[in-house]
Structure 1
């Protein structure tokens, strides 16, 4: 049936006169058409949006549409809109589409599409567009992308079957320019790839939870630290991972549940007392190895809500090294307390520390000596000046100064002293001088007491995030705050644009340039972790651990460098060597036999004088039992004394007759406990003196 415009207009005029609406029966009564004809015309007007229909009981009520016409809406659209009839003639095109084609409306509207500028604009993409239009004429809606290569633009395209005002069928084509969106997506992909590369290459562990507290990120470094593979961690909750990693004594159900509640609260409120606070946590890996980690939590806000991120740093080795330093310091203090000579520390000749033996020798309690000038121990100002002048002169020349003098005791009595002094730092005496005072009044034999310096040292473990820079064409294009700290600059602007090689120590530049060439020759090449020397902006050298990876950045090869300053670790290694060397120097230069046993009596250390009594080297005594060194009766007595020192935590002294491969001796032995930082006795130090020559003079053996 041909659609008559007159009948359509008459129906619309009738509905306009009756804004409340009419049923089809009322329309037929007012117009010279039958019910079937009216129904077909009303259906066409409904499809084109010119009338509206609502139900009133069983009846259908038709009224004139109050909506804006489709053509008017399309004319105002910012998208590119085109309408084609069943003969492929363009019957409508909006202004943005005409601007896109650079053509006037008269060259487009009313003409077949293949004779217009449309094929010229879309070029090879036109074949796909015309195929979708033909399918739309068959009632199939199509969606997709059109990307004319020569235009360097990308469009989303929607082809929709349509029925126009007069009832004729055609298609509507809607285009949206998504070129900028595509470029943004590409940049986002490159940014995500760069972020992924940093996360996977960093030596610190990193994890991120989703909005429900489940793991969505778990990098390789965190797998190495915890021993939990990434595929097992992803999707797991924080509570599940805590139950796997916390040390047994901390693996309490209430604690894990409370932590889970705090996490849920933080995800809901975006607040937590744990955010940006670094905490130390003990963990145990699946293989049973215990480790200590340093963890910092922080919020990550996204469009979907808040997520929780964390940076995890393994500090196990640092803690172990610090514990060794503490044990060495405890051992040194135990030896100093047990030493049969007076030992003290002075700064600018003001007494800072003294041992029990020095208090016994002088008769002064510790509280009356500390903070006082050493002049209080001399009979005259002249003697005090002489000792200081000669002793410090010898220290300047030889490193250690020894001199004989006379001290005044608290009761006014005099004692002859062999005073030996050594500075903590030969280049800076103001840091302090360690001295030993040997009472030579009662001992006529001449012996030199070697003083051992007690290391006055406190070190804080600095938390530092991994430093990262990116450079292209040998110039730095990206740097984080940690890199600024290592480079010794105040802001990133001082690094950006600078030649990367200028921050490498000259001794390492040849190696670094070689590594850079290898990485640039093949993007994606990763260089393993190595130790190198960098330079701060001031020229100061700084030791770092560094690894690097090359990657393409907008078509240009770039290199990502990840490094961490290890100055603190190097300083700790040096301090440990100095501490062990001071301990060994004290023991080896002493005039007494010094040895250390474990709590079961096995020898763990012996000085040269001790080994000389057995006619062997010190190393030959290490590991020997008491029964290997003495007759059974004497060995059992020694073991009983060692157990008594361990149990009572107090020193004991006794005189013993012993037989060794060298001969028979009478020795005066003082055993003292060596404590760990927590107060536990870990070993026993023995200081022995050969008193064989006094045997006939002291019948009591004392």
Structure 2
């Protein structure tokens, strides 16, 4: 009978991976305390790691978008960043997008840009080229330059097509490509329906305000948790307060606990099909 011992190579590899993660986390912690950035030599000296090991970890972090690199003289200086890998946008972002290089030229884009006036192949086009005019705003070049350096931004624009005008919210975010190079991305969200709905609400609010001031009844608008957002003049007279003394405060303290419970249940019954409810309650002076 023989005892045969087969070493578990997988266990060694798992221990090595755990060591990698711990050392990578240590590098990130060190960079977090050094916003000006550190070179490979600095990190190697402070953490007592081999330069080759540090360089390998920094390459991994750069590919993930966790660190950025800038050249200072003959040194490569690394600092923490917060970039989204381009592969994540390609694979998981469901809306239209455009990926730009460091020079703000189009590297990749989604196939659904025709709805917003972008037609044809725009690969290699600059942001200021006429092909991208439907999505262009004068502030974008500077916002893109900042995003390439690591600062995200957000802008709202209206497409110039009068027949099919769209309101868009564009998030401009820092990205890192598969080769480790930096860039930025346009993540485009169509908010046309939301804009129309908000305009209609504003119109209704103005009309309600005009009407409510002529009523003798107390009229006020509040948030779902009972914070006053608008009050009419009769309500202010009844409460013996100025509007600015009432807005931002809850109206519920003037209602008894029993009536407040009934009011809470009643509000839960309001739906688009059943938009109004009526309740009578006593007000506490």
TMscore range, shorter length: 0.5 to 0.7
Which of 90, 105, 108 is matched with 2:122 structurally? 108
Do residues 136 (structure 1) and 147 (structure 2) align?
Answer: yes
Deviation of the 1:144 alpha carbon: 1.9
State the alpha-carbon separation in 2 of the partners of residues 208 and 48 from structure 1. 51
Structure 1 residue aligned with 2:60:
45
SS in 2 for 1:202: coil
Give, in whole Å, the separation in 1 of the partners of 2:278 and 2:111: 49
Does 2:149 match 1:153?
no
Q: Could you give the per-residue CA deviations for residues 88-124 of structure 1, whole angstroms, max 9, x where no partner exists?
A: 22211112235534423xx2223444446113x23xx
Work out the CA distance in 2 between the residues paired with 1:134 and 1:95.
25
Q: Is the 8 A contact 1:48 1:164 kept in 2?
A: yes
Superposed, which structure 2 residues align to 1:431-580 within 5 Å? none
Please list every run of 5 or more consecutive structure 1 residues that lacks an aligned counterpart in the other structure.
1-14, 26-33, 52-68, 241-258, 272-297, 313-702
Counterpart Cα distance in 2 of 1:71 and 1:189: 41
d(CA) in 2 for partners of 1:38, 1:195: 68
What aligned pairs does 1:276-355 form with structure 2 within 5 A after superposition? 301=270
What are the Cα deviations for residues 363-389 of structure 1, in whole angstroms up to 9, with x where unaligned? xxxxxxxxxxxxxxxxxxxxxxxxxxx
Deviation >6 Å, runs of 4+? 307-312
Distance 1:300 1:198 in 2: 26
Separation (CA, whole Å) in 1 of partners of 2:210 and 2:280: 16
Match of 1:36 in 2: 51
Determine the C-alpha separation between the residues in 1 that align with 2:125 and 2:236: 67
Distance in 1 between residues matched to 2:91 and 2:115, nearest whole Å: 13
Question: Gaps (5+ residues) in structure 2?
Answer: 1-9, 22-48, 67-84
Partner of 1:376: none
Question: Deviation of residue 186 (structure 1)?
Answer: 0.3
Partners of 1:221 and 1:300 lie apart in 2 by 28
Give the superposition deviation at 1:176.
1.2
Cross-structure match for 2:212: 199
| Cross-structure match for 1:265 | 261
| Superposition RMSD in Å | 4.2
Go from structure 1 to structure 2 and tell me whether the alpha carbon gap of 1:309 and 1:210 turns closer, same or farther (over 3 Å shift).
farther
Find the aligned partners of 2:198 and 2:14 in 1 and give their Cα distance: 51
- The aligned length equals 218
* Alignment partner of 1:85 out of 101, 108, 112: 101
Residue number in structure 1 paired with 2:199: 186
Q: CA 1:264/1:211 → structure 2, altered by over 3 Å: closer, same or farther?
A: farther
Matches within 5 A, 1:591-670: none
1:228 paired residue number: 240
SS in 1 for 2:216: coil
Once residues 155 and 36 of structure 1 are traced to their aligned partners in structure 2, the CA distance between those partners, rounded to angstroms, is 47
1:155–1:177 CA contact under 8 A, matched in 2:
yes
Richer in strand (by share): 1
How far the C-alpha of 1:77 sits from its partner, in A, is 3.0
1:620-659 deviation digits (Å, cap 9, x = unpaired): xxxxxxxxxxxxxxxxxxxxxxxxxxxxxxxxxxxxxxxx
**CA distance 1:79–1:131, shift in 2 (3 Å):** same
- Greater Rg, structure 1 or structure 2? 1
How far, CA to CA, are the matches of 1:186 and 1:265 in structure 2? 34
Contact 2:98 2:185 survives alignment (8 Å) = yes
What is the CA-CA distance between 1:86 and the residue it aligns to? 1.4
